[in-house]
Amino acid sequence: MNRLEFSIPPFLSVAWVSEEALKHWQPIFKQLNQALIDTTLSGVAQGVWNSRRIRIPGAAVMKLPETAKALGLAVRSTQTGLPGEKGPVFHDVVIQLRHTSQPGDTAGIPDCCVARHNEMQGNARQESIWESAEATPGRKFDTDTITLHGGYVHGAVWHKLLVNPFSYPLCHLYCPTTLRLTTEHLEWMRAESHAGLADIWADMAHWPAEWNASHGICEMRTPVVKLAYETDATDRPFRVRFDGTAWPTHGAFGLDFPYRSPERKRMTDSQSFKNGVDLLRNL
C-alpha cells in the first residue's frame, strides 16, 4: 500500500438508506453505545478483564472519569487526530482497575496485535483494515479487493459510528483473542441486563459490509447506512468485503454489494431495452 503525501481533514458523513432504517437503527445504536461503555467499565471493575482499550465517539467521554472513579477504575483518554484539528472527535480510552493500573502504550492490546499496533504507529497510519485483511486466514484476494467470509470483529467496520470496544489494529480480522473478548463481552452484556442489545450486536457482525478507500477517503457501506470519513491516502483504491450471513431489518435493496439484489428483472435486462440497443446499433 503506497501512500500519497497528503491527508484529508477529519470528517464524517452518514447516509441512511431510508427513513425507516434511520428511525429503527439510530435509537438502537445510541442504546448500544451506552451499553458498550457501561459494560466495559463494569466488566473491568468486576474483574472480567484486566484492562480494555475502547474508542468512544463524541462527548460521551465527558462522563467517563466520574463513572470510572465511582467504580475504582483508572481511565486514560487520548483524543484521536492532530492537536487543534477540527472535525468529529473520538477518544481512545484505556480502562484499568486503579490498583493494578499499568500505564503503557500497549495497555489493553492483546499480545498478538501489538506488532500491528507498533507498525501502524510507526507509519502514522489512520487505519489498518487492509493489512489486517491481508493477514486474515482464508481471505480471497483479487487485485484491489479482499473478501472475507464469516463474522468479523466489530471494530473493523463500525468504529466511526459505534463505540469501538477493541480500539487497536488487529493482527488479522479473525483475531482469536479479540473474538474471545467479543464472546466474553456479549456474555457480560447479557449478565448485565442487555441481552437484547447483545443479540443485535452479535448479529451485526454477520451483516455484509464493505470498507473501501481511495484518495484518502474511506466509504464504509452496510445494508442500513453508509459512511464516508478520512483515511490514509493511497495511490490506488483498496476494498475489503465482508460476506454476511445475517440481514438487518430495513436493509436496502441495491445494485452493488453489500445491498440485496432486487428480485425483479432490471430494466436494462429487459427484452424491450435490449431490442432498442440492438436495433439502434444496426441503424
Q: Which stretch binds other proteins (CB under 8 A): 98-106, 149-157, 196-204, 235-243?
A: 235-243
Residues 173-212 as x/- pattern, contact with other proteins by CB under 8 A: ----------------------------------------
Question: Which C-beta is closer to other proteins: that of 141 or that of 253?
Answer: 253
Cβ 210 to other proteins shortest distance, Å: 11
Cβ 111 to other proteins shortest distance, Å: 36
Out of 16, 81, 150, 191, the only residue in the binding site for other proteins (CB under 8 A) is 16
Contact in structure between 249 and 239 (CB atoms under 8 Å): no
Question: Which C-beta is closer to other proteins: that of 111 or that of 269?
Answer: 269
11 binds other proteins (CB under 8 A): yes
Question: Which C-beta is closer to other proteins: that of 23 or that of 180?
Answer: 23
Question: Which C-beta is closer to other proteins: that of 171 or that of 225?
Answer: 225
Question: Which C-beta is closer to other proteins: that of 99 or that of 264?
Answer: 264
Instruction: Note the Cα 119 to chain centre separation in Å.
Output: 20
228 binds other proteins (CB under 8 A): yes
279 binds other proteins (CB under 8 A): yes
DSSP-assigned states of every residue in the chain: -PBPS--PPP-EEEEES-HHHHHHHHHHHHHHHHHHHHHHHHHHHTTS-SEEEEEEEGGGGGGHHHHHHHTTEEEEEEE-S-TT--S--EEEEEEEEGGG----TTTT--HHHHHHHHHHHHTT-S--HHHHHHTSTT-EEETTEEEE-S---HHHHHTTTS-BSS-S--SSTT-HHHHHHHHHHHHHHHHTT-HHHHHHHHHHTTS-EEEEEETTEEEEE-SSEEEEEE---BSS-EEEEE--S---TTPPB-SSTTSBPPSSPPGGGSHHHHHHHHHHHH-
Cβ 144 to other proteins shortest distance, Å: 11
Binding residues among 76-115 for other proteins as defined by CB under 8 A: 86
**Which residues form the interface with other proteins (CB under 8 A)?**
4-6, 8-9, 11-19, 22, 86, 214-217, 219, 226, 228, 230, 233, 235-237, 252-256, 259, 262, 266-268, 272-277, 279-281, 283
